[in-house]
């Protein structure tokens, strides 16, 4: 289908949806050009703003916790620093993306995920490692009349799998 492309299907959980909100969990499915899953990655992300805090430092963060159920203590005890997350993503790119090519970001709300990826890489003054275009799979769902199955867990990797399954069902319904 897209033999020369590798796709990174990405989902974040965050401290909210404002521009000041921070990503606190990332899930990634690495897909080949035929949309087969090659590998996966998931981790929590801890930021310097969280150091020394007993609970989420903003009302938005406390409200977000009621949705994704991720506590600050979990992020602080299990999270990786943004630089470490960037290292993991760059390693996935090095392992799976052919030399001279770039991974394409995809999700069902790709503008949101793109913004959170930019936050990560910008916070560490890292070069942007992804292709300049991205795929939003939501239009495929709509065209094919596919709804996400199951309850959205608001856990990054589980949501990636849910998005992936909906995308594959969409392609099947559209005859691709």
How do residues 14-50 score in pLDDT, each as one tens digit? 999 998 899 999 999 999 999 999 999 999 999 999 9
Average pLDDT over residues 163-172: 94
**Domains defined along the chain, listed by start:** 7-173 (3.30.420.10)
Smallest Cα–Cα separation from 88: which of 132, 48, 43, 150?
43
Q: Check whether 1 has a pLDDT greater than 70.
A: yes
Banded model confidence at residue 150, pLDDT cuts 50, 70, 90? low
Biggest CA pair distance of the chain: 53
State how far the Cα of 35 lies from the Cα of 17, in Å rounded to an integer: 29
How do residues 89-145 score in pLDDT, each as one tens digit? 999 999 999 888 899 999 999 999 999 999 999 999 999 999 999 999 999 999 999
Residue 74: CB atoms within 10 A of its CB come to 15
């Amino acid at each position: 289908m897209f033999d020369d492309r590798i796709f990174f299907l990405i989902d974040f959980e965050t401290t909210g949806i404002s521009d000041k909100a921070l990503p606190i969990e990332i899930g990634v499915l690495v897909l080949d050009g035929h949309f087969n899953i090659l590998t996966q990655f998931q981790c929590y992300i801890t930021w310097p703003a969280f150091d020394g805090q007993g609970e989420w430092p903003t009302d938005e963060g406390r409200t977000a916790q009621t949705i994704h159920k991720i506590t600050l203590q979990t992020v602080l005890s299990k999270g990786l620093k943004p630089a470490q997350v960037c290292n993991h993503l760059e390693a996935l790119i090095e392992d799976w993306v052919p030399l001279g090519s770039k991974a394409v970001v995809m999700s069902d709300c790709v503008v949101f995920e793109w913004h959170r990826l930019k936050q990560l890489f910008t916070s560490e003054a890292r070069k942007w490692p992804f292709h300049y275009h991205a795929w939003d799979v939501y239009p495929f769902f709509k065209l094919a009349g596919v709804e996400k199955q199951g309850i959205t867990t608001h856990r990054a990797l589980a949501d990636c799998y849910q998005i992936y399954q909906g995308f594959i069902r969409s392609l099947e319904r559209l005859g691709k």
